[in-house]
Chain A
Amino acid sequence: MMKSKEVVLATQQTQVLGRALLIPAVALLFIWMIVPLAMTIYFSTLHYSLLDPGTESFVGLENFRYFLTDPAFLTSLQNTLVLVGSVLAITVLLGTPLALLLDQPVIGRSVVRLMVIAPFFVMPTVSALVWKNLLMHPVSGLFAWGATLLGLTPIDWFTDAPLFAVILIVAWEWLPFATLILLTALQSQDEEQKEAAEMDGASALSTFIYLTLPHLARPITVVILIETIFLLTVFAEIFVTTGGGPGLQTTNIAFLIYSQALIQFDVGNASAGGLVAVVIANIVAFFLVRIIGRNLEA
């Protein structure tokens, strides 16, 4: 088909316009990414304390040496890994059966789905305070009441198992995310394939292992990667419940950097820590971007 002159013109016009329209977004994101990062890198090589202004001096990699050998770093790195790992395990291991259940014929399914998704929309500060006070309070909390009903001694969550308490709160916030994504993936599964397997006499278990699980492999990977990105920097939940304590028991990398920057006002050290956090997140992001990029071509 011959294109008329107007169409060719319009297409050329579109190309030029397209470049122009892309510029503001690209420029803004570029500045947003480069300027603060460059400043963080610069600060990380300085001795720079807000309590002691005017004494900034170049110290090379001293801040990194200090940050990485600080016992607080190892503790908070460990807490970060435990937090991320536990929340991932809980959300995937509970989210998968929950999604499978919601994929079944259920009377009132849409209402159940709404109840399951709701926690995701609760702002983190509300979730944390409601769990800390209304549910986990050692005397008047709902859990304490449940424990006494069962003849157990109520746990003082934030004294005896503070990190576990934070893990429970964060897992509750992210379970809906995992469930919703896995449910969406299940609903796109080929029903005919499942029917054929059933007609061939395959048991529900083998249908699950050989058909459903491989189908869920990629969505589960996506859930794990996206959750990891967000979970590496859990902040508000710790900020309003424990403030990182008792001691360093609930301090993760994000909270450690925050306390160095805005409580101890040690800019140089906090910047070095910030860069460590960027490197850790980038390792995860690398894999996530590859998966999404592959999907973009398909």
Chain B
Amino acid sequence: MARRVTSRRVWVSTGAAWFFGFVIFLPILWMVLTSFKTELEAFAMPPTFLFFHWTTENYATVQGRSDYVHHALNSIIVAGGSTLLALLIAIPAAWSMAFAPSKRTKDILLWMLSTKMMPSVGVLVPIYLIYRDFGLLDTRGGLVAILCLGNLPIVIWMLFTYFKEIPKDILEAARMDGATIGRELIYVLTPMAIPGLASTLLLNFILAWNEAFWTLNLSTLDAAPLTVFIASYSSPEGLFWAKLSAASTLAIAPIIILGWFTQRQLVRGLTFGAVK
């Protein structure tokens, strides 16, 4: 028997949920609205909510500045590169632990996890000095490497939980039919692993796109992704709100859309399987 739900209760919970959802979303909504105002109206007091002169000139200005495109490209290269590199290293490792586990697999997994818990700031000094001495400061390669290592434990962990769900009987059956390891990987495992791979890729792209410790400390201009570009708006306080909003909207819109698709994987990825 389904629980009886009175229509009054539905209306009350609907009203409350929409109210709180709106309050939480308000800063983002306000930012998007401001991005369509003139700089003058962005400061207007009392603020204008919908009835202002809508303009897209801020987007034109931001896009027109060659440096925005440069930093956006850096974000794509750094986030994409570090994610792909991490997948390349993590797929074999996760495959190995899921399909050829040993007595130590659990310890290795937990040890990998514990490396993620080391605070970045604890190794800031040596990393900064190593990067300085090897000429890696403010290079895309340097950022790709550090973000890849930082996210590697999460990537391995997520892939492991996905691979674990693939029934082993299927592999046995394939082997009975005389499939070699190579064929088994390509024809049996890969198709079944693609959804897990896709969501791992997506979540880690998001994490790398938003990473703001190493990017702020290890890049300034040439390799600086959008996190650093936006941070540069903090110095001339309050002069370019509309342009700041337009640049911010462009920087977060693709990620919010990707994020909405991956909300379920988010839980799995960020709690290391502790909450399902």
Contacts and interface: CB of A to CB of B under 8 A. Distances in A.
Chain B associates with chain A: yes
Q: Classify the secondary structure of A's interface with B.
A: helix
A211 interface: no
Contacts of B43: 140
Interface stretch (A3-11, A66-74, A81-89): A3-11
Interface in A178-200: 180-181, 184-185, 188, 191, 194-195, 198
Contacts of B258: 121
A218 B115 CA distance: 23
Contacts of A26: 93, 108, 112
B199 interface: no
Contacts of A229: 117
A274 B118 CA distance: 10
Contact of A123 (B27, B129, B130, B212): B212
B276 interface: yes
Contact of B24 (A119, A125, A194): A119
B152 A13 contact: no
A241 B263 contact: no
A240 B234 contact: yes
B66 interface: no
Interface residues of B, number: 108
Interface stretch (B56-64, B175-183, B190-198): B175-183
Given A122-B256, A277-B122, A29 B96 contact: no
Interface of A: 4, 6-7, 10-11, 13-15, 17-19, 21-22, 24-26, 28-29, 32-33, 35-37, 39-40, 43, 98, 101-102, 104-109, 111-135, 137, 139-140, 142, 144-145, 172, 175-177, 180-181, 184-185, 188, 191, 194-195, 198, 218-219, 222, 226, 229, 232-233, 235-236, 239-241, 253-254, 257-258, 261-262, 267, 270-271, 274-275, 277-278, 280-282, 284-285, 288-289, 291-293, 295-297
Given A17-B100, A121-B255, A236-B216, 16 more contacts: A7-B175, A14-B100, A17-B181, A18-B95, A18-B97, A29-B115, A40-B123, A40-B126, A106-B14, A116-B21, A117-B259, A122-B210, A176-B24, A191-B3, A194-B3, A222-B275
